[in-house]
Amino acid sequence: MLKKICYFFYASLFVCITIYAQNSEQKSVSVTVYNQNLGVVRDIRDIDIKSGTSTIAITDVAQFIDPTSVHIKLNGDVLEQNYQYDLVSLDKILQKYIDREVHLIGDNNYEIEGTLLSYSGGEIVLRKKDGGLLMLPNTGKYRFSVGSLPEGLITKPTLLWLVKSPSSGRQEVEISYQTSGMNWHAEYVALLNKDDSKIDLNLWISITNNSGAAFKNAKLKLVAGDVNLVNNIQPRPLYNVQVMHESTTAAAEQFREKAFFEYHIYNLQRTTTLTQNETKQISLFEAPGIKVTKKYLYRSGYYYGNNPSKVSVIVEFDNTKENGLGIPLPKGKVRVYKSDGESNEFIGEDLIDHTPNKEKIKLKIGDAFDILAEETQTDHKQISDKVFENSYEIKIKNRKKEDVVVEVERNLGLNWEILDSSISYSKKNAQTVVFQVPVKKDDDTVLKYRVRYSM
């Protein structure tokens, strides 16, 4: 099929060329997106292939394709594969027209014709037909006209195969490849109830396509997990990103999740279009009424002196079926909101990692405004060359209008023994102990303990 194409450049270049376009029809396309700047494309086409040795060319592939990952499957043998990406531009065409005839068109269609001797940075040297030289330091006011597209330049990145087929006719050809410039991530929205005992949790998936190609009516899969990549090539930045929202009343039915190798796949149960330079958001699930526990946490062992230290506010919940979840949760940002009686207000956010079923999720929402901690080392005794004792006090100040319990997590290091403590503790691991410190409303509680260290 012959197609006449005319190219216009803002830099005032005009070229008319004739090219051969491959006669192919796309039957289906599948896109698997990883959350590591990677996409895998599987493209099935009907292509008219001649008997014997011939060439197949596909132009509408991703601009950031990894050509070493391309695989083609057809009825025949693949003799050679090429990825051509020397794209048409004003500079490249004029560089290839050195020692060839060009036309310059100025104001009032004033024309200059001659042989191009030099072109660099908008400056040209032209040999006119009478033998004289024309030197233009600025070609911004001129348009260029040349006879044809120089050999080797193309308008789109092109995959080219030299194949040998046993027969002529249309046949189904499967093409697959990897591309960078594709990514996805999870965005959670949690609405905390009035008494901080439950949340309504929604999960949105954001898919970004900056691969340099659009995929219409694609079968979409998302892979959650940390896949090892030897060399993850970063794409150059692209702009004019559009944000698309796909709302749904049946969010839980849109994706089906399944285990795959050591990862998890979320399979969209319909086709969708991934436009170039687009971020598309699709709802993954809605889970109302998840039971949560709010607690106050002070991590001790990092700050000393009499300056108040912050007490964190933590919301945690179990990822179990009994709690309305029980599914693998992809890593992402969790934004938490709560109603003040008039509207839902943002109260904090945190990141979660890939979390399997039956695991606990802990979210740091922020720091408590009305609860403070003051930590002081009150004594030090050297018992021997290798043994010493330290005494500590941690004052918890509660300025709220309700009683609270603050969990104090203390990193003691190695070779320790608590000799006495005003509040009982539990051992979290070899270096860490935890105290549950109750504090009455508008009151203070002082935690005192003494530790012996052996060197």
CATH number given to 294-311+364-454: 2.60.40
pLDDT at 236: 38
Higher pLDDT, 113 or 361: 361
Q: What's phi and psi for 90, nearest 5 deg?
A: -60, -50
- Give burial (CB, 10 Å; 0-12/13-18/19+) of 20: exposed
- Is 370 within 8 Å of 400 (Cβ atoms)? yes
- pLDDT at position 38 over 70: yes
Most confident of 83-87, 171-175, 228-232: 171-175
Identity (one letter) of the amino acid at 97?
A: Y
- H-helix or E-strand containing 296? strand 293-300
- Is 56 within 8 Å of 77 (Cβ atoms)? no
Could you give the residue range(s) of every CATH 2.30.30.520 domain in the chain?
Answer: 90-146
pLDDT at 253: 61
pTM of the model: 0.70
CA separation for the pair 80, 77 (Å, rounded): 9
- CA separation, residue 328 to residues 74, 123, 281, 356, 398 (Å): 38, 61, 19, 4, 38
**Alpha-carbon dihedral 363, 442, 193, 281, rounded to 10 degrees:** -40
- pLDDT at position 4 over 50: no
Average pLDDT on 289-298 reads 96
pLDDT at 251: 43
Average pLDDT on 327-340 reads 93
Counting residues of the chain whose pLDDT is more than 70, the rounded percentage is 88
Q: Which of 34-38, 105-109, 179-183 has the lowest mean pLDDT?
A: 105-109
128 token code pair: 């006119």
Q: What is the pLDDT of residues 153-176, one digit of tens each?
A: 767 778 889 999 999 999 999 999
- Is 62 within 8 Å of 181 (Cβ atoms)? yes
217 token code pair: 């009516």
- Is 57 within 8 Å of 154 (Cβ atoms)? no
- pLDDT at position 247 over 80: no
The DSSP 8-state label assigned to residue 403 in this structure reads -
CA separation for the pair 445, 67 (Å, rounded): 66
Average of per-residue pLDDT values in the chain: 85
The answer as to CATH 2.30.30.520 being correct for domain 90-146 is yes
- pLDDT at position 98 over 70: yes
Does residue 217 sit in helix, strand or coil?
strand
88 token code pair: 């048409």
CA separation for the pair 392, 378 (Å, rounded): 5
The secondary structure of 31-95 as a DSSP string is: EEEETTTEEEEEEEEEEEE-SEEEEEEE--S-TTEEEEEEEEE-SSEEEEEEEE--B--HHHHHH
- Is 209 within 8 Å of 18 (Cβ atoms)? no
pLDDT at 17: 31
Q: What is the pLDDT of residues 413-424, one digit of tens each?
A: 899 999 999 999
- pLDDT at position 292 over 90: yes
Pick from 157, 158, 212, 173: nearest CA to 39: 212
Could you identify the residue written with the tokens 């830099």?
Answer: 11
pLDDT at 23: 58
148 token code pair: 């044809």
Beta strands in 166-300 (DSSP E): 169-179, 182-192, 198-209, 215-224, 242-246, 255-260, 263-274, 278-291, 293-300
How many Å is the Cα radius of gyration of the chain? 34
Q: Which residues of 312-347 are buried (b: 16+ CB within 10 A; e: fewer)?
A: bbbbebbbbeeebbebbbbebebbbbbeeeeeeeeb
Higher pLDDT, 39 or 144: 39
Q: Are strands 242-246 and 278-291 parallel, antiparallel or unpaired?
A: parallel
- pLDDT at position 205 over 80: yes
- Is 435 within 8 Å of 447 (Cβ atoms)? yes
- pLDDT at position 117 over 80: yes
Q: How many residues does the chain have?
A: 455
Q: Which residues of 397-406 are buried (b: 16+ CB within 10 A; e: fewer)?
A: bbebeeebeb
Q: What is the pLDDT of residues 363-398, one digit of tens each?
A: 999 999 999 999 999 999 999 999 999 999 999 999
- pLDDT at position 2 over 60: no
Average pLDDT on 5-24 reads 40
pLDDT at 92: 80
pLDDT at 386: 92
pLDDT at 307: 52
pLDDT at 231: 63
Could you give the residue range(s) of every CATH 2.60.40 domain in the chain?
Answer: 294-311+364-454
Q: What is the pLDDT of residues 210-219, one digit of tens each?
A: 998 999 999 9
- pLDDT at position 40 over 80: yes
256 falls in which pLDDT band (50, 70, 90)? Answer: confident
- pLDDT at position 83 over 90: no
- H-helix or E-strand containing 197? none
308 falls in which pLDDT band (50, 70, 90)? Answer: low
- Is 29 within 8 Å of 37 (Cβ atoms)? no
CA separation for the pair 101, 122 (Å, rounded): 17
